[in-house]
Amino acid sequence: MKFIVSSEKLLKELQVLGGIINSANTLPILDNFLFHLNSNQLILSASDLETSMSTTIDVESEDIGMIAIPAKLIVDTLKTFPDQPLTFIKSDQNIIEISANSGKYSLAYFDGEEFPKPIQVKDPVKTKISGNLVGKAIDSTLFASGNDDLRPIMSGVFFQFYESEIIFVATDAHKLVKYRRTMDSSSIEKAEFIVPKKPLQLLRGILQDLEEDVTIEFNDNNAVFLFKNVSLNCRLIDGKYPNYEAVIPKENPNVLTINRSSLLNSIKRVSIFANKTTHQIKLKMAGSELHISAEDIDFSNKAEERLDCDYKGDDMEIGFNSRFILEMLNNITCEEINLSMSLPNKAGIISPIGNKDKAEDITMLVMPVMLNE
């Protein structure tokens, strides 16, 4: 088994695949990349048993073979090379020899047959969606998903496909983001499923600039995302997603309109003085002024700022966890936002103003915290 490949091209693909590999694996074989050579095509794979990903690159070869190479060792080695052709030659002593311009390097490999096979999606439903659209939807929602092992359903993103729209939802019970987009395509099959966080983190980085369509094949248990030379398989999260529509307040007569950057920077400064456990800030709205304040009584720390705004509704005070508000404001790019509220004990809804993409609608919900009077 022998092949020649560009060091830069190989490193680029392996660095993406490296996101699959856990820092501590129960099976030693999972610390490796699978190299599956099929003549002039090299299929590279990584797996953690729950998620597997493979990508195909062109190489110079006429051979066929399959070996598993230690991931950290090969990536660390490739990082040191300027772009150049590398020759990989497999010997009989479970050694793979790499020849470069400056020398030769030998490392042990494992039998490729030991590497776990990717999850097969039997009798799948198939849907095609634009790659950068899926990337945008994941990027808009993923940060709001939870990390609680006791509530695994909330640790992923809820996909809802309809004939005329797609909806992506993520929540951790403190904050919720709903990304909705109307679609012209009739190739979308109606479906609902929950995708775990890890495969979505990988997809987010790859899909953002992808102009091509992504084919999503799924059944009740598994899903596979296919695009360009990449295949990503994952297990879906089992369970029924909470009725998120029930927690979104329908009547929100108090509406604050304000510059996003001004609000973001003000909360960043004021929150430094907030209690380090609750991260609580207080928003007080009256007329055309917004007062943002925070206090840490234990250390006598206190801060208050005043911002000009457009406010319609009753004068009110409401408390929020500053970290959640900052996360949301950092994940939208518009110039101005609306913060819609009903009562101090009901969720506030952040929505961008002036979105150029009329087919897109983003709703961000953040739960309030009780104010310490």
Express each pLDDT in 103-140 by its tens digit: 999 999 999 999 999 888 999 999 989 898 999 999 99
Q: For residue 364, which of 175, 156, 204, 182 has the smallest C-alpha distance?
A: 175
Residue 187 pLDDT greater than 80, yes or no: no
The rounded mean pLDDT for the chain is 93
Cα distance between residue 199 and residue 234, in whole Å: 7
- CA 119 to chain centroid, in Å, comes to 21
Residue 186 pLDDT greater than 60, yes or no: no
Tokens at 259, concatenated = 């510059």
CB 234 within 8 A of CB 45: no
195-220: average pLDDT: 92
Cα distance between residue 142 and residue 134, in whole Å: 12
Gyration radius from the chain CA atoms? 25
- pLDDT tens digits along 2-20: 999 999 999 999 999 999 9
Residue 372 pLDDT greater than 70, yes or no: no
Per-residue confidence (pLDDT) for residue 57, from 0 to 100: 97
Question: Domains of the chain, with CATH numbers?
Answer: 2-114 (3.10.150.10), 126-241 (3.10.150.10), 248-369 (3.10.150.10)
335-358: average pLDDT: 92
211-235: average pLDDT: 94
Q: Phi, psi at residue 267, to the nearest 5°?
A: -65, -35
Per-residue confidence (pLDDT) for residue 357, from 0 to 100: 78
Cα distance between residue 186 and residue 241, in whole Å: 25
Residues 6+ apart with CB under 8 A from 102: none
